[in-house]
């Protein structure tokens, strides 16, 4: 019963006008597909500058209006009028290592974006909810000891590892400030580590480091495993993360929009802790890769050891529970990667010259 209810979440958006910043990206494009699968009686505006996304991810559909450009651009902001029921603010400068290389680009695309968007939205009258995509890394305790589930009320860590995670938490500060000061109906969704179909290695423009290509651990491991390469394990793969399948994140975002309390915050997590070493073993098993691991030193900037998210509040208040367990989600992602190798490799190859010396 609960599963059916959760699958039908998107149906509730029938007749709605929705703005999605960063909608061409990995999570945004999955969210749009989920909404369109539930109803075509919907109007979706995407604003995305394709900094870390490919246009091919934008569904060609009469219900979707794609505006290419930055959500911090005044001309684009002026085009957005007071018609939206829901806003999902997913635009970001992807990801930690690129933000360390170019903190000003992170500021322009990850902090200023939120401030300028909220300034534009603050007097809109029709808005029911503005859902902000935040990140669990901004509040996780920095420990390699046994981890306990991070709850929503965990203290905000003053020692952040990257401009990216600073920007994500500043976005939370603006979300609560604009709610209190201007009654902007914000809800913060704190994601754990998302994986799944449609995350294209190398998508978008060069952002300064090899992380432009090797976006996140799961797509990287799957690609390398399919190529028969050893999987790179930094610090023996001792760090742990909470991996959540992209369809679950999208249902969580919809639940935040429908049921989230204004001004509040919810974890979107699986609640399961997996070490990077366990992940590598699982991916080598699923893909039949016999090349094992390549042991590498710890990343100098990364102090985030073991962590996973608490699921209690989202379950109680949003009726949200992640449904796809890691082995099943990985199998789906491996199949998608096999079928999308041409697209993925064309995106990896376009950065080949630059990646050589980074």
Ligand X SMILES: NC(=O)c1ccc[n+]([C@@H]2O[C@H](COP(=O)([O-])OP(=O)(O)OC[C@H]3O[C@@H](n4cnc5c(N)ncnc54)[C@H](O)[C@@H]3O)[C@@H](O)[C@H]2O)c1
* Residues found near ligand X in the complex (CB under 6 A): 21-22, 24-28, 47-53, 70-72, 90-94, 109, 113, 133, 135, 168, 191, 193-194, 204, 216
Percent of the chain as helix, strand, coil, to the nearest 5: 45, 15, 40
Question: Shortest approach of ligand X to residue 69 CB, angstroms?
Answer: 7
CB of 5 or CB of 24, closer to ligand X: 24
Instruction: Give the span between the Cα atoms of 84 and 246, in whole angstroms.
Output: 24
Burial readout 176-192 (b: 16 or more C-beta within 10 A, e: otherwise): bebbeeeebbbbbbbbb
Q: Report, in Å, the least distance between residue 138 CB and ligand X.
A: 9
Distance of CA 228 to the CA centre of its chain: 28
Structure tokens at 304: 């985030």
Residue whose CB is less far from ligand X, 199 or 284:
199
- Give the Å distances, CA to CA, from 16 to 115, 179, 292: 24, 22, 49
Q: Name the nearest CA neighbour of 247 among 197, 317, 188, 189.
A: 197
Beta carbon of residue 227, minimum distance to ligand X (angstroms, whole number): 22
Q: Is the peptide bond before 308 cis (omega within 30 degrees of 0)?
A: no
Residue nearest ligand X (C-beta atom)? 25
Q: How far is the CB of 318 from ligand X (least distance, A)?
A: 17
- Minimum CB distance to ligand X, residue 338 (Å): 21
**d(C-alpha 99, C-alpha 162), whole Å:** 7
Q: What's the closest the beta carbon of residue 205 comes to ligand X, in angstroms?
A: 8
Nearer residue to ligand X within complex by CB, 132 or 183: 132
Q: How many CA atoms lie within 13 A of 335 on its CB side?
A: 5
Tell me the C-alpha distance between 136 and 100, whole Å: 18
Closer to ligand X by Cβ: residue 230 or 323:
323
């Amino acid at each position: 019963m609960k599963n059916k209810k959760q699958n039908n979440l998107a149906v509730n958006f029938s007749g709605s006008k929705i703005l999605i910043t960063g909608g061409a990206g990995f999570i945004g494009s999955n969210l749009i597909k989920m909404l369109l699968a539930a109803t075509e009686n919907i109007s979706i505006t995407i604003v995305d500058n394709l900094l870390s996304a490919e246009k091919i991810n934008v569904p060609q559909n009469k219900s979707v209006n794609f505006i290419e450009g930055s959500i911090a651009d005044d001309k684009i902001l002026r085009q957005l009028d007071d018609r939206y029921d829901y806003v999902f603010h997913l635009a970001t400068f992807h990801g930690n290592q690129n933000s360390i290389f170019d903190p000003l680009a992170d500021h322009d695309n990850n902090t200023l974006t939120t401030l300028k968007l909220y300034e534009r939205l603050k007097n809109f009258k029709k808005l029911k909810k503005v859902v902000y995509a935040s990140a669990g890394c901004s509040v996780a305790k920095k420990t390699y000891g046994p981890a306990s589930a991070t709850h929503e009320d965990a203290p905000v860590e003053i020692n952040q590892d990257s401009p990216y995670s600073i920007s994500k938490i500043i976005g939370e500060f603006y979300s609560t400030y604009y709610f209190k000061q201007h009654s902007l109906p914000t809800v913060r969704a704190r994601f754990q580590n998302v994986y799944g179909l449609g995350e294209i290695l190398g998508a978008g423009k060069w952002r300064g480091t090899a992380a432009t290509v090797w976006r996140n651990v799961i797509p990287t491991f799957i690609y390398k495993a399919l190529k028969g390469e050893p999987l790179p394990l930094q610090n023996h793969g001792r760090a742990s993360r909470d991996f959540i399948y992209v369809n679950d994140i999208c249902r969580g975002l919809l639940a935040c929009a429908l049921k989230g309390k204004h001004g509040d915050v919810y974890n979107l997590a699986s609640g399961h802790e997996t070490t990077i070493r366990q992940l590598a073993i699982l991916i080598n098993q699923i893909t039949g890769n016999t090349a094992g691991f390549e042991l590498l030193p710890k990343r100098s900037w990364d102090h985030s050891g073991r962590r996973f998210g608490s699921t209690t509040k989202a379950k109680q208040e949003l009726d949200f529970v992640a449904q796809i367990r890691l082995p099943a989600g990985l199998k789906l992602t491996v199949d998608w990667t096999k079928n999308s190798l041409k697209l993925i490799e064309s995106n990896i190859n376009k950065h080949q010259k630059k990646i050589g010396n980074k």
